[in-house]
């Protein structure tokens, strides 16, 4: 959802190259590009053990950080 919101805000997600998560193979094919873009832009970070945990839940703090990161990149 955050990736789509960034797109609707015409935000170009550019950053350093993204690294693979330890559980990269668990990320659905349709979501892999969005996760990569968001990580490269510094919006998403890994969890303990260099994992993304695609079936896990985001904490309130993680969601707030993602929203803040997107809003701060909008010019």
Given this model, what pLDDT does residue 14 score?
Answer: 72
Q: What is the mean pLDDT of each run of 10 residues along the chain (75 residues)?
A: 88 78 94 91 90 94 93 85
Q: Cα 59 to chain center, whole Å?
A: 14
- What is this structure's pTM? 0.81
User: What Rg, from alpha-carbon coordinates, does the chain have?
Assistant: 12
Given this model, what pLDDT does residue 74 score?
Answer: 85
Given this model, what pLDDT does residue 73 score?
Answer: 86
Angle at 62 between CA 56 and CA 65, to 5 degrees: 150
Residue 51, phi then psi, degrees to nearest 5 = -110, 150
Name the region of 72 (left: φ>0; alpha: ψ -120 to 50; beta: rest). Answer: alpha
């Amino acid at each position: 959802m955050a990736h789509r919101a960034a797109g609707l805000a015409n935000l170009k997600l550019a950053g350093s190259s993204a690294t693979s998560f330890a559980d990269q193979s668990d990320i659905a094919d349709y979501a892999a590009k969005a996760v990569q873009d968001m990580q490269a832009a510094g919006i998403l970070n890994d969890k303990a053990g260099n994992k993304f945990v695609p079936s896990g839940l985001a904490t309130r703090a993680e969601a707030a950080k993602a929203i803040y990161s997107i809003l701060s990149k909008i010019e």
